[in-house]
Structure 1
Amino acid sequence: MVVNPGGRSLPAGFEPRTPEGGPVVPKDAATVVLVRDGSAGPEVFLQRRVKGMAFAGGMTVFPGGGVDPRDADHSVAWHGPGPEWWAERFGCSPEVARALVCAAVRETFEESGVLLAGPDPTTVVGDTSRYTEARAGLVARDLSLAEFLAGADLVLRADLLRPWAHWVTPEQEPRRYDTRFFLAAMPTGQQADGSTSEASHAYWSTPQRALEDFAEGRTHLLPPTRVTLEELAEHDSAASAVAAERTLQKIIPKLVRRGERWHVLLPGEPGFEEAR
């Protein structure tokens, strides 16, 4: 869903197509916002997805993706808040919460090379280049997260993640995701990269600069990405963002027609409650 800069209008000619039989059941997914402090303030890691991809092609996004059934593996060595804690904040079962946290760690490593794990509960991996082969195995689904962590004798660091938001794709979309957004400070000693087939470009940017790029038409943002950037722009440091207390509510945007175009409406905006 491409949203035009300067508003939430969709491109001319866009027509929502609710699949026959009703809305598609959304697939669980995890997105991770990596933050660090830069010379101009806090920065976030962004990737521009390859054009032509089935979902969000050409969009500028945070790392993330769908949950793999193996992400729910109970054998994952885990440190930090348990599945029950995450389940309470994300409004789901502990089993789903476990899979979401594991998916967040796995997808972040696959798409950016950043690994939120360490040899023990008090340390984090430094240089992740030694795990290049395992990263490729995760991408190819030849290796599960549990197998990788066990083979490398690593512990998943759930304590490095923070719950940030909960977004669900509008009902009119043929591909729908029930996405939980996480926030994580960039681990010291690691480097985020764009070594993924899903991204054509990867870079760090202040939230404000990313919003300016969108407003001036240099990038395309999905509503959840834009809103998250707006929220992060209010913080003056990565530590401030990580320490923020968040009350999560499930956000399901609605699509409404106004004149010749369809528009995206968010909860609380005029006309949202009346929209079907």
Structure 2
Amino acid sequence: MPNSSNNPAGFRPAGKRLFPLTEGQREAAQAWLDFGGRTPGKPRLASSVVLLKDSPAGMKTFLTYRPGGSPLGIVAFPGGTVEPADDDVTDWVGPSPAAWAKSLGTTDIGLAKRHVVAAIREAFEETGVLLAGPDASSLAEGINGPEWMRAREAIAAQEITFASLLERYGLALRTDLLKPLSHWLSPDFAHRRFDTRYFAAVMPVAQEPSLLTSKGVWGRWACASEILAERNSTVLGDEIGQDVTLGRNLGELVVPGVEVILEKIAAARGCIAYLNHKRPINEYQPTLVVGSEDQLNLEVSTAPASEGAACRER
């Protein structure tokens, strides 16, 4: 049977939220329903990093445009799929892979390691931010020049591995600079499904994000509270200026995972409070809901307590 439900108009069980489907999602969802709810494909593993910094207007995060109908959303945090070569990274300081497995709520230590490596690799590839250094108390510096851009391009094209780059410069991953946030699965009806682990990291003082020359279209620091204040407008989509973003509001540009994280960032007092908050790593999977007049939405079970409120109380 299709993983969908029918609820009376306006009725929403406690702890449940509805999110609109994008145009592409509506087509996939309707096809999935028409064929009786096929068995979902196995999701690809992915990691995404929420880069953060404080500002007078509130916490900011780095958002990017993602072309090609990415399951992470049209607008998202830096991230991408876990790759086999992520297993090759061995230089590591901070919490061990075993400690990360515990933090991520899995018994698979290798899986936890791959997610952490992919998070740091994708952040470097897409933004040039490198959470690695020669030892446990320092970070790589001077990494914004042409040489480093070429390295990022080579990693993106899979001409070299992230592990080989770290080895060349004598760098080890600073896994202590990452914090786990949440775990999201794509809906069953999606043509391309991701099993995504979200992490957070404060922007290193001596580094500054830049878009990948060959793929970067749009990206900038965005104040979470300002983005949410304009969530029902098309300001962000029009600013990006792509055919798939023009005239679209926030809910049509981002996946539920991104929207929920933005809400929690906006509610937090600052980076320290947000990163130090002890949060359970809940697994979220939006499910298809068929409402009145066959309207389709995504339903997400949300945590009963407000993480933002907890951050403010610290």
SS at match of 1:200: coil
SS at match of 1:230: helix
**Cα distance in 2, alignment partners of residues 98 and 90 from structure 1:** 10
Structure showing greater radius of gyration is 2
Q: Deviations over 1:173-227 (max 9, x none)?
A: 1111110000000001111122254442101111111223332133422100000
Q: Label 1:183 to 1:94 Cα distance change in 2 as closer, same or farther (>3 A).
A: same
RMSD: 2.2
- Aligned runs of 1:127-276 on 2, under 5 Å? 127-130=142-145, 131-195=148-212, 197-218=214-235, 219=237, 220-258=253-291, 259-268=293-302
The two structures have a TM-score, normalised by structure 2, of 0.77
Segment drifting more, 238-247 vs 224-233: 238-247
Deviation at 1:54, TM superposition (A): 3.7
SS at match of 1:106: helix
Q: Deviations over 1:142-163 (max 9, x none)?
A: 1111111001111110000000
- Aligned runs of 1:30-179 on 2, under 5 Å? 30-50=47-67, 53-56=68-71, 59-73=74-88, 75-92=89-106, 93-130=108-145, 131-179=148-196
User: Corresponding residue for 1:14?
Assistant: 27
Q: Label 1:57 to 1:28 Cα distance change in 2 as closer, same or farther (>3 A).
A: closer
- Is the Cα contact below 8 Å between 2:73 and 2:255 reproduced in 1? no
SS at match of 1:46: strand
Deviation at 1:117, TM superposition (A): 0.5
Q: Label 1:225 to 1:88 Cα distance change in 2 as closer, same or farther (>3 A).
A: same
Amino acid at match of 2:139: V
Deviation at 1:268, TM superposition (A): 5.0
Q: How many percent of aligned residue pairs carry the same amino acid?
A: 32
Q: Label 1:96 to 1:56 Cα distance change in 2 as closer, same or farther (>3 A).
A: closer
Structure 1: gaps (5+ residues): 1-6, 270-276
Amino acid at match of 1:200: V
Structure 2: gaps (5+ residues): 1-17, 238-252, 304-314
Q: Label 1:176 to 1:197 Cα distance change in 2 as closer, same or farther (>3 A).
A: farther
**Cα distance in 1, alignment partners of residues 126 and 213 from structure 2:** 5
SS at match of 1:266: strand
The two structures have a TM-score, normalised by structure 1, of 0.88
Alignment coverage as a number of residue pairs: 261
Deviation at 1:136, TM superposition (A): 1.4
User: Corresponding residue for 1:274?
Assistant: none
Q: Deviations over 1:66-118 (max 9, x none)?
A: 00111022x52100111111112223311011111110010000101100011
User: Corresponding residue for 2:248?
Assistant: none
> Which one has the bigger helix percentage?
2
Q: Deviations over 1:19-71 (max 9, x none)?
A: 99610111110000000112312110111223xx0425972110000001110
